[in-house]
Amino acid sequence: MVTFTVSRKELLVNLKKFKAAKGKRAKEIKIICEITVTNGKITIVLPGMELYLPCKTTGGGAKIAVKYFYFLDIVKGITDTEPEFKVTQGTITVGILTFYCQTWFFPNDRILRSIQLPINYSDKDLLLLRNGRYTDEELEFNKMTFKIEQAEDNLKSNIMSTYNKLKEYGVNYSEIEEMVNNKLK
């Protein structure tokens, strides 16, 4: 079990920054909020943002993945000025509320890396995540695998569409695919 105690006001102000940056489109997307608990601080990572908050921690390091708007609503509903979040395998408890989320506990920082993406990331940004910079476990934990697979499907569809338009000019599917792959390296 890992615990962290943080100022509710600071947490709420920082979480709202992301909502303001995303605008009205934000609610349409199922955004994952990644929280990393380390000694004396939490790091909150959202697409295009990385926030650091000092806090009191016990129990070591952990990584939590929870839906952003769900977590924001929970924090809004907390009345305690310095709530204590208790993180156990698959759950977080704050006050009398316990909710499910994805959690990982680890003794070292090897897998603590956050996925770096721009705030309005594109399929190209997602495809570039598979360049070996992140492990499969990191991508899976951050719920990026499905998004990357969708980006790959979109790419294949776009290559096929381009091929169908250009085949009468003697362009091969493999030529288009090779050109795109070179651009992604």
In the structure encoding, which two tokens stand for residue 47, read together? 């697409």
Residues 96 and 141 in one domain: no
Tell me the C-alpha distance between 92 and 63, whole Å: 11
What SS3 class is residue 117? coil
Residues 6 and 74 in one domain: yes
Residues 19 and 98 in one domain: yes
Count how many Cα atoms sit within 13 Å of the Cα of residue 88 in the half-sphere of its side chain. 7
Residue 77: the pLDDT is 94
Q: Are 72 and 16 in contact (CB under 8 A)?
A: yes
Residues 23 and 110 in one domain: yes
**Number of domains making up the chain:** 2
Residues 86 and 141 in one domain: no
Domain boundary among 120, 154, 174: 120
pLDDT tens, residue order, the chain (185 aa): 999 999 999 999 999 888 777 666 556 567 889 999 988 899 998 888 888 999 999 888 889 999 998 999 999 999 999 999 999 999 999 999 999 998 888 765 455 567 888 888 899 999 998 887 787 877 887 778 899 999 999 999 999 999 999 999 999 999 999 999 888 88
Residues 92 and 128 in one domain: no
Domain boundary among 120, 140, 166: 120
Residues 139 and 181 in one domain: yes
Residues 23 and 91 in one domain: yes
Task: Tell me the angle at which helices 8-22 and 68-77 cross, rounded to the nearest 10 degrees.
Answer: 140
CA distances from 181 to 135, 155, 177 (A): 20, 10, 6
Structural domain span for residue 137: 122-185
Residues 14 and 86 in one domain: yes
Residue 113: the pLDDT is 66
Residue 117: the pLDDT is 86
